[in-house]
Amino acid sequence: MNIPQVVFLCGLALVLTAVAAFTTIIVRSASRGGVGVLGGRTDYARGGRAAFLAHRLTGFGIFAFLSLHILDVAAYSVSKRVYDDVQPIYGSPALRVFECALLFAILFHTGNGLRLLAVDLARLSPSATSFLLRLVVAVVGVAGTAGSVLILAPLFG
C-alpha cells in the first residue's frame, strides 16, 4: 500500500467516523422525544419517525461521501500518478459494499425527498403519505438490490 492509498483510507475512516457520530446524535435526539440538537422539534407532521431519521442520516452520509469524493478527484490536480494510485481501492470488496450502501442512501434520500414534496405540495392525507412511504421503500429495495448486484458482480466473476 502506498502513501496516497493510506491517505485515502484515512479520509474514508474520517468520513465513516463522522457518519457514526452524526448517527449517534440523531438517535439520541430521537430518544429525547424529538427535540433536536438546537432545541427545535425534529418530526414531520405526517410521514413517520423512521423516515425522518433515515432521511437525515442518508443526507449526511451522502454529503460525507461527496466530500471525500471531491478530495479523491482533486488528487488528479496534484498528480495523475497519485490519482491512479487511489483508484484501485474502489475495486476492493469493502469499498464495493460501501458503494452499495451509498446507492441505497441516494435512492432513499431522493425518493423520500420527492415524497415529502408531494406531501407538502398536494396536502396529502396521512394514508396517502403512508402509502407513498411504502412505495418509496419498495422501489428503493428493488432498485438498490439490482444496482448492488451490478456493483458486486466483479467480485464473483
At 131-140, the pLDDT tens digits run 999 999 999 9
Q: What residue numbers bound the domain in which 25 lies?
A: 3-156
Q: How is residue 35 annotated by DSSP?
A: B
| Site of grid cell 423516515 | 51
CATH number at residue 114: 1.20.1300.10
- Written as nine digits, the cell of 49 is 419517525
The number of distinct structural domains making up the chain is 1
Cβ 119 vs Cβ 45: under 8 Å? no
Q: Does pTM top 0.85 for this prediction?
A: no
Tens of pLDDT, residues 44-85: 444 477 888 899 999 999 998 998 889 888 888 888 998 998
